[in-house]
Structure 1
Amino acid sequence: MTKLRVGVVGLGGIAQKAWLPVLATAGDWTLQGAFSPTRATAQKVCDAYRIPYVSSLAQLAEQCDAVFVHSATSSHYAVVSELLQAGVNVCVDKPLAESLSDAQRLVELAQRKKRTLMVGFNRRFSPLYQDLKAKLANGASVRMDKHRADSVGPNDLRFTLLDDYLHVVDTALWLGGSEAQLQSGTLLTNDRGQMLYAEHHFASGNLQITTSMHRRAGSQREWVQAVTDGGLFDVTDMREWREECGSGVVNRPVAGWQSTLEQRGFAGCARHFLDCVANQTVPETSGEQALMAQRVVEKLWRDAISE
């Protein structure tokens, strides 16, 4: 079988830390090339990973079957739409686009072009979060906290909601079920309109779902707590598992062979996208799925600015 030809757009921090180490271990694919507007900086990254630098997005599209997009959010619509128009399958960092209307247009374009469009919500592919989701058939409550040590500003509320809180909303609603409805919530900002704290409450049938983020909590900690009919579960930083099911406390040891990128879902996310392209199946985090969380975040922002 012919190997998929894979490309990368955007070679900044997230690409270097999370995606290129996975993509560079090409097995069922070849890393065909990378494009970034600033060649001087991009060339160093390409040399480090032995990836050919491609001088334009159009040229990259000609050479690839699938492309991972890690450019700035403000560029997502232009970059992804050009790739889809050229017949290329795309996996893009969240959010799908800077505006909800542009995100919807990209989903419609992918459908017309019959191409795979996926958003890289890596947490859905974290092995411990997947294990936790399997325990929630009789869940009573799920709470997800993702806090920052000291990250108030410099961007405004809407940017932070889309850039960071979107991860919390998407993961929590995926864990609890996509039919969840917003019940109540709080959004606190400083006098510059920058996010300080967010907490929101959703319901999916009998399951209660809470999301929370503080931008100056003194810690980078992320954890999910779940209460079920028969068990209490706690997952910290996607690597530590603790459960109580009537027979004491069980702390699951971190798998010694498992890399951080496996634990945090980046490796699984990348492989899932490429498998979907190869097998022509619908991704777990398709464009349509990504719109659900973005609609919720858009509503949270609009409700906050209208108060």
Structure 2
Amino acid sequence: MKVGCIGLGDIAEKAYLPVLGALPGVDLHLQTRTPATLARVADRLHLPAGQRHPDLDALLAQDLDAAFVHAPTPVHPEIVTRLLRAGVPTYVDKPLAYQLADSRRLVELAEQREVSLAVGFNRRHAPGYAQCAEHPRELILMQKNRVGLPEHPRTMILDDFIHVVDTLRFLVPGPVDDVTVRARTESGLLHHVVLQLAGDGFTALGVMNRLSGSAEEILEISGQDTKRQVRNLSEVVDHKGQPTLRRRGDWVPVARQRGIEQAALAFLDAVRAGKVLSARDALATHELCERVVAAVEDGPRAA
């Protein structure tokens, strides 16, 4: 199975390549426009010259069975379009694109060509989060905070807050009939944003503070006198009377803890089985993010 990896930045090198490089039966091909990076990463994976490609044309000439795109977001539309038109099942690191029109066009192109398109929402596969879908979820609260990183609204929401948005969509137990956004911006930079999704019998809150006292990610779900808290995707605390704590095992890889390994394997399993994956649900997350961007940019400067 020939699998291409386009873009060799931190997310590819630290999370995806350790998984892909260890899979039996996978003929891994790398592509980046930076020769030094290509040589360094390929050398570490012991890949021959025929599996190192300086441009997308050379990579597409390999008749790929699947591709992973980890290039910078601004070039996603161009790269993904070429892959889909070549009939290559494609997995894209989130977001599909910064502009909703581009994201819609890519999803429609994949459907027209009947080619798989998947978006890397790895938290749906992270064990601590996936198991939350089995618990009562009358109230859902997710925080993903950073220190000293206010940013332009569209970039922050599509690059980072999108994980919060998608996780809430994944965990809400029913249709959402109310969406509320509150935010604070200063000098054009987004300091914090709060998204509330509500429906029959549930409320979900997503919070991101870019001027927090620490970098942290905390998910809490509660209902029917039970509560589960997941801290930084590695510690799970269940509350029912007395709290019980479970930590990630010492030998559990970070890529597995964060759901990246499972997401990549699920995509490749579907490709092997000839199953066409749709990014239509991922597009719904992008559409909700666009609503958040609009609310932040059009709303009051402080909330």
User: What RMSD over aligned residues (CA atoms) do the two structures have, in Å?
Assistant: 1.6
Contact 2:145 2:216 in 1 (8 A): yes
2:174 and 2:200 in contact (8 A); partners too: no
Match of 2:146 in 1: 148
SS at match of 1:44: helix
**Residue correspondence of structure 1 range 1-307 to structure 2 within 5 A:** 4-31=1-28, 33-51=29-47, 52-63=51-62, 64-136=64-136, 139-153=137-151, 156-177=152-173, 179-191=175-187, 193-246=188-241, 248-281=242-275, 283=277, 286-307=278-299
Output the CA distance in 2 between the equivalents of 1:93 and 1:53. Answer: 21
Q: For each residue in 1:76-108, what CA deviation from the matched residue of structure 2 results, as whole angstroms up to 9, or x when unmatched?
A: 000000011011010001111221111111111
**Partner Cα separation in structure 2 for residue 253 and residue 41 of structure 1:** 35
Q: Structure 2: which amino acid aligns with 1:10? A: G
Specify the code of the residue in structure 2 equivalent to 1:97: A
Report the AA paired with residue 147 of structure 1. Answer: N
What SS does the aligned partner of 1:79 have?
A: helix
How many Å apart are 1:197 and its aligned residue?
A: 0.4
C-alpha displacement of 1:114: 1.3
1:177–1:295 Cα change, 3 Å: farther
Q: CA deviation at 1:27?
A: 2.0
Instruction: Give the partner amino acid of 1:199.
Output: V
The 10-residue stretch of structure 1 (180-189 or 12-21) with the greater mean CA deviation from structure 2: 180-189
| 8 Å contact kept, 1:96–1:287 | no
1:174–1:275 CA distance, 2 compared to 1 (3 A): same
Unaligned runs of 5+ in 1: none
Alignment partners' CA distance in 2, 1:265 and 1:276: 17
Structure 1 segments of 4+ aligned residues over 6 angstroms from their partners? none
Deviation at 1:176, TM superposition (A): 1.2
2:178 and 2:199 in contact (8 A); partners too: no
1:58 deviation in Å?
2.5
Provide Cα deviations, 1:201-244, integer angstroms capped at 9, x if missing partner: 11132111000000011211101011111311111011101112
Could you tell me how far apart the structure 1 residues matched to 2:98 and 2:262 are? Answer: 25
Name which of structure 1's ranges 261-270 and 171-180 shifts more when overlaid on structure 2: 171-180
CA distance in 1, matches of 2:273, 2:173: 26
Give yes or no for contact 1:146–1:220 (8 Å, CA) kept in 2: yes
Q: Read off the aligned partner of 2:202 and give its amino acid letter.
A: L
| Structure 2: distance between partners of 1:36 and 1:241 | 38
**Secondary structure of 1:280's aligned partner:** coil
> Is the Cα contact below 8 Å between 1:76 and 1:98 reproduced in 2?
no
- Separation in 1 of the partners of 2:161 and 2:203? 18
- Cα distance change, pair 133–260 in 1 and its aligned pair in 2 (3 A): same
- For residue 100 of structure 1, what is the amino acid of its counterpart? L
Which whole-Å CA distance do the structure 2 matches of 1:39 and 1:183 have between them? Answer: 46
Q: Residue deviations 1:47-99, cap 9 Å, x none?
A: 22223211321231232110000001000000000011011010001111221
Q: Compute the displacement of 1:140 (Å).
A: 1.0
**Secondary structure at 2:61 match in 1:** helix
Give distance in 2, aligned partners of 1:226 and 1:116: 32
Q: TM-score, normalising length from structure 2?
A: 0.93
AA at the equivalent of 2:7 = G
**Count of residue pairs the alignment pairs up:** 295
Given the two structures, how large is their TM-score scaled by the length of structure 1?
0.91
Whether the 8 Å contact between 2:248 and 2:257 is mirrored in structure 1 is no
Aligned CA distance change for structure 1 residues 28 and 178 (closer, same or farther; 3 Å): farther
- Residue 152 of structure 1, CA deviation: 1.9
Shift of 1:282: 5.2
| Counterpart-to-counterpart distance in 1, 2:175 and 2:89 | 28
